[in-house]
Amino acid sequence: MSHVAMEKSPGLSHDQKLHLSDIAQRLVATGKGILASDESNATMGKRLRSINVENHEENRRTFRQILFTTNDINQWIGGILFFHETFYQQTDDGNPFVQFVKDRGILVGIKLDKGTVPIPGMEGETTTQGLDGLGERCAQYKRDGADFAKWRCVFRISDHHPSAMAICENACVLGSFAAICQENGLVPIIEPEILTDGKHDLARCQYVTETVLAGVYKVLNDRHVYLEGTLLKPNMVTAGVCHNHLYSPEDIAMATCTALRRTVPIAVPGIVFLSGGQSEDEASVNLNAINSCPCPKVWKLSFSFGRALQTSALFAWSGRQESYYDGQDAFARRAQINSLACQGLYNTNPESGPAHYHHYYMY
Ligand SMILES: O=P(O)(O)OC[C@@]1(O)O[C@H](CO)[C@@H](O)[C@@H]1O
């Protein structure tokens, strides 16, 4: 039998690969993570409703401006994820947001998926739409200043979910997204989010996370995706919100690291967690515990938080012009804390003794 050696990612030149891996590494440079301010207008509506502010374009722009123009955020934030509307908005003095952010050394990203839709016949399981015309959209955003992009697929846990079919369907969609992005010079951020809805325990979430990630990396390999030029945006491994036992940050960290170690190739430069409805401090404490976890880890373990970076800023501002800078102070604080947490340096209680990590290898 003869063997033909095939190059991985044959569609990408040496220079294209270098460009992609350089972007990916800059996004997760030590002490840096990503601000996910890519909420759709509908999701932004929910956020603004929580502070009794009307959901219109100017209010969405003002809140994003508060975040992007906060002093010194380039020390803690390597990239900002935009939604289409924000991508073409400007600061009060007419500077395009994209240019403003890039001038501060922060990379610009774009949410490319067009949201979830049910998979017919699959009891409410979903896939994510937006692949039609994706190549042209990628090329346009790249010309307009983007260097990375994000695509979110969603899974829920029950006794018999996610199904093998939903895992396969979503892994294929993520593989197509990643390959198309890379052809167009964008680093794909691959986000297979497992929701926290449900009453499952930590071990069940770990098992499902491992199964989903194994499916995703099988397809990325089949599609010849250049892993050095990608980032993964997963959920942390946590119990369902209706589970009756409270796990410690060390338990969550060990379960998360174990799941990642079993499934994510070491060629991937960084893993940037979503916050998934955790409180701001929970997300930071868990991220810190993940980075302090005493098991071998090869990737940068950082953040791509939405709510866990923005909630206190949103409430501090609350739509009041006079609270503009309170919003910025609150955002700067969260960004700084998460910068420490992604280095394992966020110490909430200096009096406490050494953290106690159990082993989850048996699950
Ligand atoms: O879970 P979080 O950290 O708030 O947000 C994570 C995230 O992927 O989910 C949101 C909804 O799609 C996006 O805006 C954001 O990028």
Distance from the alpha carbon of residue 259 to the mean position of ligand 1, in angstroms: 21
Is the pLDDT reported for residue 194 higher than 70? yes
Residue with tokens 């699950």: 363
CATH top-level class of 14-346 = alpha beta
Average pLDDT of 252-280? 98
Sign for the CA dihedral angle at 137, 130, 85, 150 comes to: negative
Are 211 and 294 contacting, i.e. CB atoms less than 8 angstroms apart? no
191 annotated active-site:
yes
Average pLDDT of 183-209? 98
70: three-class secondary structure by DSSP:
coil
Q: Which atom of ligand 1 is nearest to the CA of 150?
A: 16
- Tell me the per-residue pLDDT of 26-78, one tens digit each, with 9 for 90 and over: 999 999 999 999 999 999 999 999 999 999 999 999 999 999 999 999 999 99
Residue with tokens 């009756």: 244
How many whole angstroms separate alpha carbon 299 and alpha carbon 296?
10
pLDDT given for residue 356 in this prediction: 79
Strands 126-128 and 116-118: antiparallel
pLDDT given for residue 2 in this prediction: 55
Is the pLDDT reported for residue 363 higher than 70? no
Is the pLDDT reported for residue 362 higher than 60? no
pLDDT given for residue 130 in this prediction: 98
Give me the residue spans of the domains in the chain.
Answer: 14-346
Is the pLDDT reported for residue 361 higher than 70? no
Q: Which atom of ligand 1 is nearest to the CA of 233?
A: 8
Q: Which atom of ligand 1 is nearest to the CA of 305?
A: 3
Q: H-type helices in the chain, by residue range?
A: 14-27, 41-49, 57-68, 84-87, 97-103, 134-143, 164-183, 202-222, 249-263, 280-292, 307-317, 324-341
pLDDT given for residue 28 in this prediction: 98
233 annotated active-site:
yes
Is the pLDDT reported for residue 299 higher than 80? yes
pTM for this entry: 0.96
- Tell me the per-residue pLDDT of 119-134, one tens digit each, with 9 for 90 and over: 999 989 999 999 999 9
Q: How far apart are the first and last CA of the chain?
A: 40
Average pLDDT of 152-179? 98
Q: Which of 34, 35, 37, 38 to mutate to test the pocket of ligand 1 (most atoms within 8 A of CB)?
A: 38
Are 174 and 234 contacting, i.e. CB atoms less than 8 angstroms apart? no
Are 175 and 218 contacting, i.e. CB atoms less than 8 angstroms apart? no
pLDDT given for residue 38 in this prediction: 98
Please work out whether the CB of residue 307 comes within 6 Å of at least one atom of ligand 1.
Answer: yes
How many whole angstroms separate alpha carbon 118 and alpha carbon 130?
14
Distance from the alpha carbon of residue 43 to the mean position of ligand 1, in angstroms: 9
- At a CB cut-off of 8 Å and minimum separation 6, what does 35 contact? 67, 73, 77, 79, 80, 81, 305, 309, 310, 335
Average pLDDT of 82-98? 98
Average pLDDT of 326-351? 93
Tokens of 49: 């409703």
Across all residues in the chain, what is the average pLDDT?
A: 96
